[in-house]
Amino acid sequence: QSVLTQPPSVSGAPGLRVTISCSGSGSNIGGGYDVHWYRQLPGTAPKLLIFANSNRPSGVPDRFSGSKSGTSASLAITGLQAEDEADYYCQSYDGSLSGWVFGGGTKLTVL
């Protein structure tokens, strides 16, 4: 049981927009801690996609955006492409647990 809650799967047609939610609590997201997002392709290491809620590292296209409100955060992907098929994870810090926490991951399928 992950501390952060994500939907197990989402899907969308090429060119369309999908969002992935990440729900936490007052000891993590709601406590003011930043939310970060990662993409993991099969058989590879996770790669940072969004940091500090809404910032993109160099090289990440602006099709990817993040937001945070209250105890939740979300990742939006516009202009879906086949290569976006991957697992997506949110991550934050939990003050009660004194460590990082992850969502359970969301598998994105491009129809």
Partner 1 sequence: EVQVVESGGGLVQPGGSLRLSCVASGFTLTDHYMGWVRQAPGKGLEWVGRSRNKPNNYATQYAAPVKGRFTISRDESKNSLLLQMHSLKSEDTAMYYCLVEGDHGEGLSWGQGTLVTVSA
Residues near partner 1, by CB under 8 A = 2, 33-34, 36, 38, 40, 44-48, 51-52, 57, 89, 91, 93, 97-105
**Which C-beta is closer to partner 1: that of 81 or that of 96?**
96
Shortest spacing between CB 16 and partner 1, in angstroms: 26
The answer to whether 66 and 50 are in contact (CB under 8 A) is yes
Shortest spacing between CB 4 and partner 1, in angstroms: 10
Q: Which residue, 103, 76, 107, 105, is CA-closest to 5? A: 103
CA atoms of 46 and 40, how far apart (whole Å): 4
**Which C-beta is closer to partner 1: that of 43 or that of 62?**
43
Shortest spacing between CB 14 and partner 1, in angstroms: 26
Cα–Cα distances in angstroms (integers) from residue 24 to residues 12, 13, 54, 60, in the given order: 25, 28, 17, 25
**Which C-beta is closer to partner 1: that of 32 or that of 79?**
32
φ, ψ for residue 52 (rounded to 5)?
50, 55
